[in-house]
Structure 1
Amino acid sequence: MNLNDLPGAEIILPGLSDLHSGNSNTTGALLVAIASTRLTEAGLDIPKYYLASEPELTLYALLQEEREDAYPYYNALLNSLNSFCNALEISYRYNRN
């Protein structure tokens, strides 16, 4: 399975790299933190010691600083995260059997 082919990979994979580098305050890293349990259960190695304690609130605050349309963009990011998680979980279950 190539993670780059999953929907939302363009946001999630850089966030995963950010976390492995110790940077927990990027959009991608915060998204990974939001879904860290799902991503871990689907086989990804998430460095838990770098996860933000309240990633949803931190992400929304970050988006508010960056853009005027924070709320719809926040929801779009969560939808991308959910798509990535769903595709990863399906792939994980399929490849495990």
Structure 2
Amino acid sequence: MNLSELPGAELILPGLNDLHKGETNTIASLLVAIAATRLIEAGLDVPKDHLAPEPELTLYSRLQDERDDAYPYYKALLNRLNSFCNALEVGYEYKPSNKQNAADS
């Protein structure tokens, strides 16, 4: 599975990179922190020691400082995050049987 093709990858993949570099307060790293449990369960390497406490509140506060339309933007970001997680989970759960693989050959 190519993670960069999943919806929301433009936010989540940079967030993972940020966390691996110790950057915990970027919009992208905060999104990853919000869904860390789901991402880890789906098989991604999320550095738990770099997760921000209360990432939802931190993200919303940061958006309020940067924009007048913080709430709709916050909800849009969470929707992108959820889309990424859903696509990732579906991709890892779907494993074609050997019969389907043989039929495709």
1:95 shift after superposition:
4.2
2:44 is aligned to: 44
1:56 is aligned to: 56
Give, in whole Å, the separation in 1 of the partners of 2:39 and 2:95. 15
Task: Report 1:56-75 matches (<5 A).
Answer: 56-75=56-75
1:94 shift after superposition:
1.5
State the TM-score, normalizing by the size of structure 2. 0.89
State the TM-score, normalizing by the size of structure 1. 0.96
1:87 is aligned to: 87
Structure 1 gaps, min length 5: none
Letter in 2 for 1:39: L
Q: What is the number of residues matched between the two proteins?
A: 97
2:12 is aligned to: 12
> Percent of pairs identical after alignment?
71
Letter in 2 for 1:58: T
Give, in whole Å, the separation in 2 of the partners of 1:19 and 1:96. 33
Question: Which secondary structure does the structure 2 equivalent of 1:17 belong to?
Answer: helix
Over alpha carbons, which structure has the higher Rg? 2
Structure 2 gaps, min length 5: 98-105
Give, in whole Å, the separation in 2 of the partners of 1:2 and 1:85. 14
1:25 shift after superposition:
0.2
Give, in whole Å, the separation in 2 of the partners of 1:41 and 1:96. 20
Give, in whole Å, the separation in 2 of the partners of 1:62 and 1:3. 27
Give, in whole Å, the separation in 2 of the partners of 1:13 and 1:64. 23
1:21 is aligned to: 21
Deviations 1:23-68 (A, max 9, x none): 0000010000000000000000000000001000000011011111
Bigger mean CA offset, 86-95 vs 48-57 = 86-95
Divergent runs of 4+, >2 A: none
